[in-house]
Amino acid sequence: MRISIFGLGYVGAVCAGCLSARGHEVIGVDVSTTKIDLINQGKSPIVEPGLEALLQQGIDNGRLRGTTDFAAAIRDSDLSMICVGTPSKKNGDLGLEYIESVCREIGFVLREKSSRHTIVVRSTVLPGTVKNVVIPILEDCSGKKAGVDFGVAVNPEFLRESTAIKDYDQPPMTVIGELDKTSGDLLQSLYEELDAPIIRKDIEVAEMIKYTCNVWHATKVTFANEIGNIAKAVGVDGREVMDVVCQDKALNLSQYYMRPGFAFGGSCLPKDVRALTYRAGSLDVKAPLLNSLMTSNESQVQNAFDIIESHDKRKIALLGLSFKAGTDDLRESPLVELAERLIGKGYDLNIYDSNVEYARVNGANKDYIESKIPHVSSLLNADFDQVIKHADVIVLGNRDEKFRALAQQAPEGKQVIDLVGFMNKPSCPASRTEGICW
């Protein structure tokens, strides 16, 4: 394939070397004559193990060349990758001036180009950037229609400095965000020989995936550092702790807890977060990430309340009261907190939870229910159909399979709010279903 790569910094230079090594005809484009001279001499403009050998190989076999001539590069290629920088502004927002400049250059050339051209954004951009910035500029400058007259896609990179070539050749996944199927198909053909899953999504989803991965990595580093600081203060080697923690791939390193939804609760997590952060404070160890966990968790309860309140209905059915389906444990259940907020604001609340209903009569939690939350437990109703019939808004609070069907089809005239992820589609006013994070 004939590919032009705009921006020969870290991502662009690595992509130029790797793509040319895989037999593609690559044109590297940059405003810096220094970078272009280095590329054309087979030298690397960045320090990256193994890259210079790939660039030299590309120059020697004629598959790679560099140029400052944007227009010629676009005319002589079928696909353009945008790999320019997106630096931070002073206020933290993303600087898009380089993206905008390249898109204008590409757009003006596309105006005169008769063959189909595909533009692929590899630069890291926030969700909505391609839709609200890239495509409008391309369409305005070219006079053509995106997805019809030219292709558009997003292809976020997951390259780490010092291991970039290995990361390119052995990626955990390849993510393609496509405006149209033709663009996705063309981009997929570049990666089919790699031994990794190819994931095709809408453009905005792909944009968000990249940011989510990077912020998650930052969170992991910060988390490990704070655990290490606390461990050291109590005379423990934090590396030894985290080595063992990382061996658990069923829960600690897994997708089990990595699902957007409602707040965490139960007898362990809230208690243990508070205890560890208290101990850190007593040792004068700063742990701002860990200290933020309970505040963030409480805000998710408020998010659920705000969604309920936004529908301006007074009759509410809360399905589930225990923090987790299959248990009667109400200790620190965020659903109890949500119920108390609804009661406090005067909502007409009915609650259904078969496990808690049993515990109220027979279980070990009977004393807790009667002594700690009698004002909540008095609203429990064992008649599921009656609870649904009475409500204007139905809140799915835990993953009891009995509740799943309500997320797929809201009862006539009623609004369903899904806090756990039963919905198989995003929120839709027409279907009267709304998710807390989707």
The residues annotated as belonging to the active site are 268
The answer to whether 145 is a known ligand-binding residue is no
- 210 labelled ligand-binding: yes
* 220 labeled part of a ligand binding site: no
- 22 marked among binding-site residues: no
Q: Please check if 265 is assigned to a binding site.
A: yes
Nearest to 321 by CA among 207, 403, 249, 239: 403
21-33 in b/e form (b: 16+ CB < 10 A) is bbebbbbbbbeee
Phi-psi map region of 413: left, alpha, beta (phi>0 left; psi -120 to 50 alpha): left
Residue 35 CA, chain-centre distance (Å), reads 34
- How many Å apart are CA 339 and CA 244, to the nearest integer? 39
Is 425 labelled as part of a ligand binding site? no
Between CA 437 and CA 263 the distance in angstroms is 11
104 is in an annotated binding site: no
Q: Is 286 one of the annotated binding-site residues? A: no
% helix, strand, coil for the chain, step of 5:
45, 15, 40
> Phi and psi (nearest 5°) for 196?
-160, 150
Does the annotation list 271 as a binding residue? yes
The answer on whether 331 is annotated among ligand-binding residues is: yes
DSSP string covering 18-32, please? HHHHTT-EEEEE-S-
HSE-up (13 A, CA, CB side) for residue 283: 18
* 225 annotated ligand-binding residue: yes
Q: Is 211 helix (H, G, I), strand (E, B) or coil?
A: helix
Was 34 annotated as part of a binding site?
A: no
Q: Residue 30, annotated ligand binder?
A: yes
Distance between CA atoms of residues 328 and 254, nearest Å? 26
Token pair listed for 200: 């095709």
Q: Is 185 annotated as a binding residue?
A: no
Q: From the annotation, which residues make up the binding site?
A: 10-11, 30, 35, 86, 124, 161, 210, 214, 217, 225, 256-257, 259, 262, 265, 271, 324, 331
Q: From the annotation, which residues make up the binding site for GDP-alpha-D-mannuronate?
A: 161, 210, 214, 217, 225, 256-257, 259, 262, 265, 324
Q: From the annotation, which residues make up the binding site for NAD(+)?
A: 10-11, 30, 35, 86, 124, 271, 331
